[in-house]
Structure formats: structure tokens, C-alpha cells
Amino acid sequence: MSGPSTYTPSNGFTRWLDSRLPLLRFMNDTMVTFPTPRNLNVWYTFGGILTFCLAVQIVTGVVLAMHFTPTAAGAFDSVENIMRDVNYGWLIRYVHANGASMFFLAVYIHMFRGLYYGSYKAPREVLWILGVIIYLLMMATAFFGYVLPWGQMSFWGATVITNLFSSLDQVVPHMGTAIAHWLWGGFAVGDPTLNRFFSLHYLLPFVIAAVVGLHIWALHVPGNNNPLGIDVKGPQDTLPFHPYYTVKDAFYMVLFAMLFAVLVFYAPNFVGNPDNYTPANPLATPAHIVPEWYLLPYYAMLRAVPQKLLGVLVLFGAIATLVFIPWLDTSKVRSLRYRPMLKPFFWVLFFDCILLGYLGSQEPQATTNVFGLELSDLLLARIGAIYYYAFFWICLPVIGLIEKPKPLPQSIAQAVLGSHAAAAAE
């Protein structure tokens, strides 16, 4: 779909540069003339929004790193100094902290859109896998960053998550404990741990940016998927990316930035944990240790399994499952618009993930009233985890073989313009 380059240098300098470093040609073919399906909707704007989020996180993170002290004795006070004494430090920190939440909100919308419209199916398998790698890097970066303020939840969150590796002792004696000690740089979470996490938190966003470059490259080889899930048949099905989609993306990016601004200026601590405003104390364990909201579904799955090693396997298996989705889905139809049997299962998965997030935020012994029945949150989490796995490993392969899809349109132009207008456009 990407096709041959249409760039023509306009003067001597651009001809000289193009023959040595075709940067302008690359930008033109990627951002200006790139043929894009003419029926992309609002959900396809989140790719550009995610690029905006990554840029905001890198810029604010670099500024914060200039004032941060990565030591157990100085980390908490340096964050307070940023908030109180650094010019606009409060703004930079709130943008960075809330930017992580907005980043994950956008990436979850992006992922569910990809699942709904079948953007993981051939020939876009590598594109999807690179997206999963970006997601993993984001989770690691967010975890490392959550530790840096060195409040109570930061310290104990780091202790709980890194202790998960000790479960590997059940496979190879002492191996898991050795990995945990290596991560800590000692026998407990302390100065070396904080230094290592700070270094990795600073490094990984640039790694993410590099993988994003590969992600965009992998997108431009087969071209965009579209809500219909059908291939482009010809020029009548596409529009140049600029100005049609640059303007559209910019409009929704401004709306997203406005929502971001409301969170930063009116509710900057809405997604934060009050315990993290207390300095880390290894001798006082918080009553309820929870990760940030965007990791809560996995935390609920972890707690749903009483055996530690199995819980860790369930947690990491839930993430690893995403890699295999292109091959688990056996249907030849991409978009759920034309898959009436699978669509309700998808929406159950969507609400199942929200339920798991809620259950992960509750105390382990809590109960929830469901249609007049008091059910244990632990039981609900187990049901939610089972359905998560069942959707990908049972529903996708089985339903793809037995369902009868709705008839697909002949082309994107026909679906958008109608049969007579599409014929005229051809």
C-alpha cells in the first residue's frame, strides 16, 4: 500500500540533500502523501495522541531528572523540593505523573481498537507484536518511575513486585532469591535499588521511542487497517495523509490535551495514592498495597491464585497471550462489525478488564454485592481471570471456525460513497 515515492526535490539544496540523506523524502512519503484509507474514524487518532504523550513524558522526565536525588535519604525530599522550590516544578511533576495515566488510557483505547477491528491479523502481525513490546516497556518504565518518589507505596510496591521473582525458587532452588537480590543490589530494597530503577526509568523511554519508530515503519509497509477490515482496492479507497488526517488528528489531540489539562490543574492527585505522600518506612507496612490503576487488572489476577508461583505465571501469561493473538484468531474476517458471534464476547472481555481493575484496587478480603448476593472479590477475580484466558485461547480460535460473518463491502469507496459514487470515482 505504501507504494513508490512521490517526492520531487524543488531546488538544488534539496536535490543535494536527497541524494545523500533522503530525510525530506522520508517525511514527505510518511506524513504528507502516504495513502490512507478514507474511512478511518476517531479511534484511529490515538496513534498520534500516543506519540504526543511519549514526547511529553520524555521532555518532562528529563527536566525532573535534573533536580532528582536518587538516594534513599534524598529522593523524597528532592521531590518535595521540585514541588515547592523549583520554578514551575509542581507543574512539570504533575504533568509527568498524570501523563503516565493519560499515556496508558490512550494505549488501552488503541489496543482495544486494534482488537475490535482486527488490526493484528495478516499482514500486520509484526506491527501488533511491536505494539505489545511497547506496552511491556511502558509497564516496566511506569513501575520504575513509581518507585522514585520513595514514599510508602513506592517502597512497598517495589518490595512486593521484586519479591515475585523469589517464586522461582520452587523451580530452581535459590534462583529466584538470587534474581531478587540482584535487582535490589543487596539484601533488601535500598539505595542501589533506587539508583538502578532511576537509571532504567531514564533509559527506557528512549528505547520506547526507538521501538515506536519500528512500529511506524511496520505500519507503513502494509498500510493502515480500517474499520471495515478490508484491503484497499485502489486510489479511490484512499486519501493523502496530509491535510485530511493531520487536521483530524490535531483536532482530537487538542481535545485530549484539554482533558489532560483538566486532570493536571483541577485534580492532580486523583489517580495518586495518599500513602505515597509519607516517606518510605521499612518498619511500617501500609494497610493495603496496590499498584497504579493501569496495572490493577494484572494485580487482581496475581492475587486470584493462592499459590505464589502459579499466580506469577498467570500474571505474566496474561501479558504473553497478547503476542499470540494474530495466530489464535482463526477467522479470515478482520473487523468485528461483520462478526456477530464474536462481538458480544469482545464486549464481555472489555467489561471483564474493567472489573479486574476494580477488584485489584480492593482489599483481598473484600466482598461485592452482585444482584443481591455478597460474593467474595477473590472469587470474582478468579472468574474474571478465567474469562480473560478463555476469550483468547478458546473463543478466538473456536468461534473463528464456526461463525458465519456478515457480507463484506466490495471496497472502502463503495461503503463510504455508495455504489454509484464509487463507480464514478473509479
Q: What residues does each domain of the chain span?
A: 30-274, 296-329+340-404
State yes or no: pLDDT of 210 exceeds 50.
yes
As a three-state string, the secondary structure of 72-100 is CCCHHHHHHHHHHCCCCHHHHHHHHHHHH
Q: For residue 406, what is its C-alpha cell?
A: 456478515
pLDDT digits (tens, 9 = 90+) for 225-268: 999 999 999 999 999 999 999 999 999 999 999 999 999 999 99
Give the tens place of pLDDT for each residue, 134-143: 999 999 999 9
d(CA 130, CA 110): 13
Cα–Cα distance for residue pair 316/267, rounded to 1 Å: 33
Q: Closest Cα partner for 383 from 359, 409, 415, 413?
A: 359
In the predicted model, is pLDDT for residue 352 greater than 50?
A: yes
Please give the average per-residue pLDDT across 319-336, as a whole number: 97
The answer to whether residue 416 scores a pLDDT higher than 50 is yes
- What are the tens digits of pLDDT across the range 265-292? 999 999 999 999 999 999 999 988 999 9
| Collapsed DSSP state (helix, strand, coil) of residue 158 | helix
Instruction: Express as a percent the part of the chain with pLDDT over 90.
Output: 89
30-274 has CATH 3.20.20.210 classification: no
Q: Determine the Cα–Cα distance for residues 151 and 354; give it in Å rounded to an integer.
A: 27
Which spans in 123-240 are helix H? 125-147, 152-163, 175-184, 191-220
Nearest to 289 by CA among 164, 146, 153, 143: 153
Tell me what the mean pLDDT of segment 13-39 comes to.
93
Give 370 or 280, the one with higher predicted confidence: 280
**CA–CA separation, 226 and 246 (whole Å):** 17
Grid cell locating 47: 496513534
Round to whole Å and give the CA distance between 158 and 142: 12
Whether residue 2 has pLDDT greater than 90: no
Tell me what the pLDDT averaged over the chain comes to: 94
The pLDDT value given to residue 247: 96
Using an 8 Å Cβ cutoff, are 209 and 202 in contact?
no
Q: Where are the beta strands (DSSP E) in 201-305?
A: 238-240
Q: Which amino acid is at 396?
A: L
Q: How far apart are CA 204 and CA 144, in angstroms?
A: 10
Q: Could you tell me the pLDDT band of residue 373, with boundaries at 50, 70 and 90?
A: confident
What is the C-alpha to C-alpha distance for residues 273 and 293, in angstroms, rounded to an integer?
A: 10
Rounded CA-CA distance 131/313 in Å is 22
Distance CA 403, CA 291 (A): 39
Structure confidence at residue 422 (pLDDT):
56
- Peptide bond preceding 326 in cis form (omega within 30 of 0): no
Give Cβ neighbours of residue 87 (< 8 Å, ≥ 6 apart).
Answer: none
d(CA 372, CA 380): 15
pTM of the model: 0.95
- The answer to which of 214-228, 344-358, 403-417 has the lowest mean pLDDT is 403-417
**Could you tell me what percent of the chain has a pLDDT over 70?**
97
What is the rounded distance in angstroms from the CA atom of residue 9 to the CA atom of residue 24? 9
Give 92-139 pLDDT, tens digit per residue.
999 999 999 999 999 999 999 999 999 999 999 999 999 999 999 999
